[in-house]
Amino acid sequence: MEKKPLILVSNDDGITAPGIHTLVKVMQRIGEVVVVAPDGPQSGMGHAITIGNTLRLDRSLAFDEVESYECSGTPADCVKLAKHHVLKDRKPDLVVSGINHGSNSSISVLYSGTMSAAIEAAIEGLPAIGFSLCDYGHDIDFSHTEEYVELITRQALEHGIPAGVALNVNFPKKSDQPIAGVKVCRQARAKWEEEFDERQDPRGRVYFWLTGNFVNHDKGEDTDEAALAQNYVSVVPCQFDMTANHAITLLNNDWNLNPGAKAPAPSKTVESGQAEG
């Protein structure tokens, strides 16, 4: 018999979240599943790791017939503990994270615990995918994602994912129209324009609540935001190397980084209507 692939599942919404239960159900069709996920919500934790507190790892009863553990730490902690402790004698064929309750497209990938679990796996040399659904409702339906989760997972296992790369997969919100297909995209140049709502608690102490709006400044048709707007599943290959390679030449050529050399005099600009003095 052909050996089933070993698939590690994690998330950031916590081990009881509906998204991870959908993901585990799909993964069980494909391979042997082990779950290591946070014991509570860890959304927006980014790539944080626990260094100043203890980490707890306990067996979980969240899934029938699936070896599962709940961790007191972050999503990145979960993947680290899974690789070095739970699966220390075995190497997962794939790590999947999600399905996140809410979008992780564009700039949100930097804040996402879901994607940080996947990127941590890539750092550890493991192929990885993060799945997210662009719906923030209280009772969302993940059913329309299952076919594409399985398709993308099987393709990743068959063809592989480049070393050091994690795939950021986002699904459009369920609608009356079927999903149009899958597009491999780049990350849109978009951002959250934050506001901090100042409030007072019952004791009169001031606190702040983060609010804001997502603004897409990118008009390209090859972005994740454009794909999702057209009801496509977006797939963005992500890497943990954040080097801005195009800036290396500029810094080497234009900056004077020799502490013993005299710094060049700044250029003088004469404003219109003023004499040079």
If pLDDT is split at 50, 70 and 90, which confidence band does 272 have? very low
Q: Is 13 annotated as a binding residue?
A: yes
Note whether 59 and 42 are within 8 A (CB): no
**pLDDT tens track for 242-254:** 999 999 999 999 9
CATH 3.40.50.300 corresponds to the domain 6-189+221-254: no
**pLDDT tens track for 16-30:** 999 999 999 999 999
The pLDDT, as a whole number, for residue 177 is 93
Give the CA radius of gyration of the chain.
23
Q: Is 100 annotated as a binding residue?
A: yes
If pLDDT is split at 50, 70 and 90, which confidence band does 210 have? confident
**pLDDT tens track for 87-113:** 999 999 999 999 999 999 998 999 999
pTM score, whole prediction: 0.88
Q: Is 11 annotated as a binding residue?
A: no
Task: Name the residue ranges covered by the structural domains of the chain.
Answer: 6-189+221-254
273: pLDDT strictly greater than 70: no
Q: Is 116 annotated as a binding residue?
A: no
The residue to which tokens 């709502």 are assigned: 197
- The number of beta carbons lying within 10 Å of the beta carbon of residue 200 is 9
Q: Please, is 72 exposed, middle or buried when counting C-beta atoms within 10 Å of its C-beta (0-12, 13-18, 19+)? A: middle
The pLDDT, as a whole number, for residue 2 is 72
210: nearest Cα among 223, 199, 222, 221: 199
Q: Average model confidence (pLDDT) for the chain?
A: 91
Tell me which amino acid residue 169 is: V
Beta-strand relationship, 6-10 and 128-133: unpaired
- The number of beta carbons lying within 10 Å of the beta carbon of residue 50 is 15
The pLDDT, as a whole number, for residue 55 is 95
The residue to which tokens 């129209």 are assigned: 177
Q: How does 229-245 read in b/e, with b if 16+ C-beta sit within 10 Å? A: eeebbbbbebeeeeeee
**pLDDT tens track for 228-239:** 999 999 999 999
